[in-house]
Chain A
Amino acid sequence: MIEISNLTKTYGAKKALDSLSFTADKGEILGLLGPNGAGKSTTMNIITGYISCTSGIVKIDGYDVLEEPKEVKKRIGYLPEQPPLYTDMVVLDYLRFVYDLKKIKEADKKAHIIEIMKLVGINTVSGRKIANLSKGYKQRVGLAAALLGNPPVLILDEPTVGLDPKQIIEIRSVIKRLGEDRTIILSSHILSEISAVCDRVVIINEGKIVVEDTTDNLMQKYSSGRRLMLRVAGEKERVEEILLNIVGIKSVTYIGSQQEGVDFEVETDIKIEPDFNKQLFFIFAENGMPILMQKEEESSLEDIFIELTNKSDRKNETEEMGGE
């Protein structure tokens, strides 16, 4: 549905995007992840035809964005980072205008607008002026405008920014539902959002793709060791010594002492499985030091993101120094 190959965009001497290539299929929610200034919005603006690329190809449903922009734009619903709202208009009038602007040909204009308003939960504010709405409602009006005409592709640039936690959950479930029969590209720097909503993730940093994979695969591949929180009733030095002698333990970090024992963060090379836990239990039992608390902590997408973007920053720095 969406094919992007070797997308490059330069602003003067600065490369905002550097040979970006990825695809997204029908019924897929693709997360575009990256720190601020990574090139997420630039990519989205190019896909939607708002700005042009310096080189590369963007195809939506087989149509090239540069050669047949109208065909591409017909198939896309776009919610930019700042929803493009005419704040002097009433919600319903605004949606009517967007409907006419997009030249949508639904059988019943009124029923279609009402259906979309219900879907994003703005039917109660349809008669209110956009300027007087809260940020959350403004965001929803922007989403409703993007959904008008039921476009097969949705491009959502940080759709939950500025919303309260309840609204975030609601919008996420709306996006999940929409993603069942559409292709959605969603950008965010909120990692929990990406892992909650997206099937696949493209992490970009400084205009380049750092990694592209499913969220599950990312967790498996890039979880650098497993972490364990451990509280043992015993002396700090003794506990540390025992831990360091266990096969598979990479590092041990002392966190603090409690009244009943000492806390350690343990990082392992191997996956923490029942056998490992049993081994841990018996070793400490033999030494007469009971384990009081044991909590596994898997690396989150956040850790993977930081690790990958840091790695790519270091790589870029090395390349630059090598170039000099």
Chain B
Amino acid sequence: MLAVCKREWKSYFTSMLGYVYLTLFLILGALMFFLNNLQGGTASMTGFFGGMISWSIFILPILTMRLFAEERRQKTEQLLLTAPVDIWEIVCGKFLAAVSAYAVGVAVTIVYAVLLAINGSLPIAETISIYIGYLLFCACIISIGTFVSSVTESQVIAAIVTYAVMLVTMFLGNLSQLVPNEILSKALMWISPLDRFSDFTAGVLNAGAVIYYISIIVIFLFLTTRVLEKRRWS
């Protein structure tokens, strides 16, 4: 698992991909910081991450689109699947590489938190909770992107489908309000990853939300292993 993770992580930063992501993330992060904190005059990072979460949906597929699609196209998956490793190790290795590459960008935003703490009264507990929630939310999107990448050979299709899936899930909360059936409406609200994030912004580390995100991650990583396994049998 570690070997796959290391290789994948390195390949982000030996190619343009990692830098494209970092540039986009840092520009948007700076913009959000300027608009919410400097111009808005608040030390809270709730608004900052509220904006970043929407942008993340568009940035994250950059990191996930090629995870498996490229392996399949280049036939390098033959090396991985004939090595004495379990498929889940390959899937987790790639997932962790994408999460840690994303975390590089997120780590830079700690500078903003430090600046806010020095120059204002940063609500520490709320900020830690938001960071945890934001990372979980992003890991959740990465797991969905990993799964989508495993079902196609084309990076472009992988990215577009991930955007599409995330756009639908983004509007699940709004959609739930339009549904007349109360049970269905609640169910839609319950499965919306975006609405789950609101607990974290309120400074509450809700165990239910944490378990929800981890469950989504596990489900999609499991589905990815099943896709790879199934292809062997087809």
Contact = CB atoms under 8 A, between A and B. Distances in A.
Given A80-B78, A101-B4, A51 B232 contact: yes
A97 B76 contact: no
A159 to B, nearest CB: 15
Contact of B85 (A80, A87, A88, A103): A103
Given A52-B232, A103-B85, A82 B11 contact: no
B39 interface: no
A78 interface: yes
A48 B82 contact: yes
Contact of B15 (A70, A80, A88, A93): A88
A49 B81 contact: yes
Interface string A59-93: 00000000000110110101010101111110001
Contacts, number: 64
Interface residues of A, number: 27
Given A70-B86, A74-B84, A88-B14, A98 B79 contact: yes
Interface string B1-37: 0111011001100110000000000000000000000
A102 interface: yes
Nearest to A76: B82
Interface in B81-125: 81-86
Nearest to B2: A100
A97 B3 contact: yes
B85 A86 contact: no
Contacts of B15: 88
A276 interface: no
A113 B7 CA distance: 17
B80 interface: yes
A102 B81 CA distance: 11
A74 B233 CA distance: 21
A89 B78 CA distance: 17
A130 to B, nearest CB: 11
Contacts of B75: 80, 82, 84
Contact of A73 (B10, B82, B232, B233): B82
B181 interface: no
Interface of A: 48-52, 70-71, 73-74, 76, 78, 80, 82, 84-89, 93, 97-98, 100-103, 145
10 closest A-B pairs by beta carbon, nearest first, are A100-B3, A84-B79, A73-B84, A84-B76, A74-B84, A48-B82, A101-B3, A84-B78, A70-B84, A101-B83
Interface of B: 2-4, 6-7, 10-11, 14-15, 74-86, 232-233
Given A73-B84, A78-B82, A103-B85, 5 more contacts: A78-B78, A84-B76, A98-B79, A102-B84, A145-B79
10 contacts: A48-B82, A70-B86, A71-B84, A84-B74, A84-B78, A85-B76, A97-B6, A98-B83, A102-B83, A103-B84
